[in-house]
Amino acid sequence: MMTGAEYEASLGKLNLVVYMFGKRVADVGDDPIIKPSRKAVAATYDLAHDPEFESLATARSHLTGKKINRFCHIHQSMDDLIQKSKMGRVLGARTGCCFQRCVGMDALNALSIVTYNIDASYETQYRARFLKYLAYVQENDLTCDGAMTDPKGDRGYPPHQQSDPDMFLHVIEENEAGIVVRGAKAHQTGAVNSHEIIVMPTMAMREADKDYAISFALPSDTAGIIYIIGRQSSETRKLEEGTIDRGNQLFGGHEALVVFDDVFVPWERVFMYKEYEFAGQLVEKFASYHRQSYACKVGVGDVLIGAAQTIAEYNGTAKASHIKDKITEMNHLNETLYCGCLACASEGHREPCGTYCVDTLLANVHKQNVTRFPYEISRLAQDIAGGLMVTLPSEADFRSPEVGAWLEKYLQASPHVPAENRLRILRLIENLTLGPGAVGYLTESMHGAGSPQAQKIMISRQVDMHQKQQSAKRLCGIKEDESS
């Protein structure tokens, strides 16, 4: 297992084509905007070497019996699913942001199930190919990007009816050695921090869309793959001198648009090829695992609640009854989220291939709550923080010989707390609820792993309505025959 430092060094060997602000990024590892996101992934490596978290962050490979980082593991029991949720919370609290590595773990687990199921229906060899790939990922402790979301063009039309056929990633050529693909994947979390990119179809497909029903994995620096980094609000503060205005000084996240400009994929890396009936299954398995992964938001919630309590103490309001009530409400919402991710793990099941999978209904209920509760927790944090959070002058003014003393004097609240500490905690709350941290804590909670309506559809499909009606009818004496 690599340490965080070894992981960062290993990425240095990649020749990634990365663009940001209209220019090719010369040194991806050293770029001040990308670097904090790399540090966040590095935290997933360091956790595996922390004796306190060994059982959470490591597992035994079912392929080799070797100790591996849990992010490379295929869940072998319900306990594995539960440890995964707990690990997500710990890392969310350690980094205060998206630590990016879960998308790859969830893609590996989903493919472990679906490659088996395709082979059971056809005379294909996907399972053997996938296990060989998995062994490589585990042996080298790699980070994988889980690439599902296509640009999708006009949402009203399926892939084959788009005016531009590249709106969904598809195969354009096939030969003895492999296939050539064209298209893009949008919003890719941690893309330029990944050694590998695992591509999956974005939604259930029909026969007319079979050229789009493909899944494969490639090294992230394969010829023809281009990364264009997405903007995050106030991210250029990372380019300024000083650290206070950044809010989160240590970690961050990033997303990228990943373009596949006629990229060659050898057959041994192809895990689904036009078996369109299985595209929906792969999406459902990946989405369920990733909806469970949103235990990370509970950890980030821990940071925000800690920040809200701290600013209340600095402002001198911590003892007010409504402030105490609001902090309790924040904890209530955050722990409710934790219940959801543990529940879908505890109610998991064994798939025929041996991989353990979360309960789909409860994973979707959990993610539906994630689309709401962080917004309410953020609203309460902003309420407690006060308006200074958005009118605070910059760190440069605070350090200025001309006006710094005024800020030191007038921005102090409790006489026991230096103004600088108040600034620091306010900037952290701003980061998480309005700044770059809100990308991960709010909008990613809304749309990441699927927008709210995607979970509503799954919830309505998964609930056993017949059984609920039977319970009601039995209690009030309705006989089935009479009610029809």
Active site members: 98, 102, 189, 255, 290, 294, 296, 444
**Taking the mean position of all CA atoms in its chain, how far away is CA 445?**
9
Q: How far is CA 300 from CA 103, 182, 252, 431, in A?
A: 17, 36, 12, 12
Binder of residue 44, out of ligand SF4, ligand FAD, none (CB less than 5 to 8 A by kind):
none
Q: Does residue 248 come out as left (phi exceeding 0), alpha (psi in the -120 to 50 range) or beta?
A: beta
Binder of residue 102, out of ligand FAD, ligand SF4, none (CB less than 5 to 8 A by kind):
ligand SF4
Q: Where are the alpha helices (DSSP H) in 247-320?
A: 279-293, 296-315
Sole window of 27-35, 182-190, 293-301, 423-431 interacting with ligand FAD (rule: CB under 6 A): 182-190
Q: How far is the CB of 223 from ligand SF4 (least distance, A)?
A: 27
- Determine if 364 is a binding residue for ligand SF4 (CB under 6 A): no
* Among the listed residues 103, 181, 217, 312, the single contact to ligand SF4 using CB under 6 A: 103
Q: Within 268-297, which residues bind ligand SF4 (CB under 6 A)?
A: 293-294, 296
Distance (Å, rounded) from C-alpha 135 to C-alpha 433? Answer: 40
189 versus 315: smaller Cβ distance to ligand SF4: 189
Binder of residue 201, out of ligand FAD, ligand SF4, none (CB less than 5 to 8 A by kind):
none
**Strands in 200-343 per DSSP E:** 214-219, 225-229, 255-266, 270-273
Q: How far is the CB of 218 from ligand FAD (least distance, A)?
A: 15
212 versus 286: smaller Cβ distance to ligand SF4: 286
Binder of residue 294, out of ligand SF4, ligand FAD, none (CB less than 5 to 8 A by kind):
ligand SF4
Sole window of 36-44, 128-136, 446-454, 472-480 interacting with ligand FAD (rule: CB under 6 A): 446-454
Q: Within 140-159, which residues bind ligand SF4 (CB under 6 A)?
A: none
Is 74 strand, coil or helix?
A: coil
Q: Where are the alpha helices (DSSP H) in 141-204?
A: none
Tell me which residue of 265, 277, 234 sits closest to 33, measured CA to CA. 234
- Determine if 149 is a binding residue for ligand FAD (CB under 6 A): yes
* Among the listed residues 7, 53, 71, 99, the single contact to ligand SF4 using CB under 6 A: 99
Residue whose tokens read 């309001």: 317
Binder of residue 443, out of ligand SF4, ligand FAD, none (CB less than 5 to 8 A by kind):
ligand FAD
Binder of residue 255, out of ligand FAD, ligand SF4, none (CB less than 5 to 8 A by kind):
ligand FAD
Sole window of 184-192, 207-215, 346-354, 458-466 interacting with ligand FAD (rule: CB under 6 A): 184-192
Q: How far is the CB of 100 from ligand FAD (least distance, A)?
A: 8
Spatial contact of 172 and 129, defined as CB atoms under 8 Å apart: no
Q: Strand order of the sheet with strand 178-189?
A: 23-24, 18-20, 225-229, 255-266, 178-189, 170-174
Name the token pair of 105. 């773990």
Name the token pair of 483. 């009610």
Name the token pair of 150. 């296509």
Binder of residue 412, out of ligand FAD, ligand SF4, none (CB less than 5 to 8 A by kind):
none
- Determine if 439 is a binding residue for ligand FAD (CB under 6 A): yes
For every residue of 80-144, DSSP letters joined together read: HHHHHHHHHHHHHHHHSS---THHHHHHHHHHHHHHHHHHHHSS--HHHHHHHHHHHHHHHT--E
Sole window of 65-73, 78-86, 200-208, 440-448 interacting with ligand SF4 (rule: CB under 6 A): 440-448
163 versus 484: smaller Cβ distance to ligand FAD: 163
Spatial contact of 82 and 293, defined as CB atoms under 8 Å apart: no
* Among the listed residues 196, 221, 255, 302, the single contact to ligand FAD using CB under 6 A: 255
DSSP state of 51: G
Spatial contact of 448 and 459, defined as CB atoms under 8 Å apart: no
159 versus 340: smaller Cβ distance to ligand SF4: 340
CA dihedral sign of residues 380, 345, 342, 344 = positive
- Determine if 453 is a binding residue for ligand FAD (CB under 6 A): yes
Residues that bind ligand FAD (CB under 6 A): 103, 146-149, 152, 155, 187-189, 255, 439, 443-444, 447-451, 453
Residues that bind ligand SF4 (CB under 6 A): 98-100, 102-103, 189, 293-294, 296, 440, 444, 448
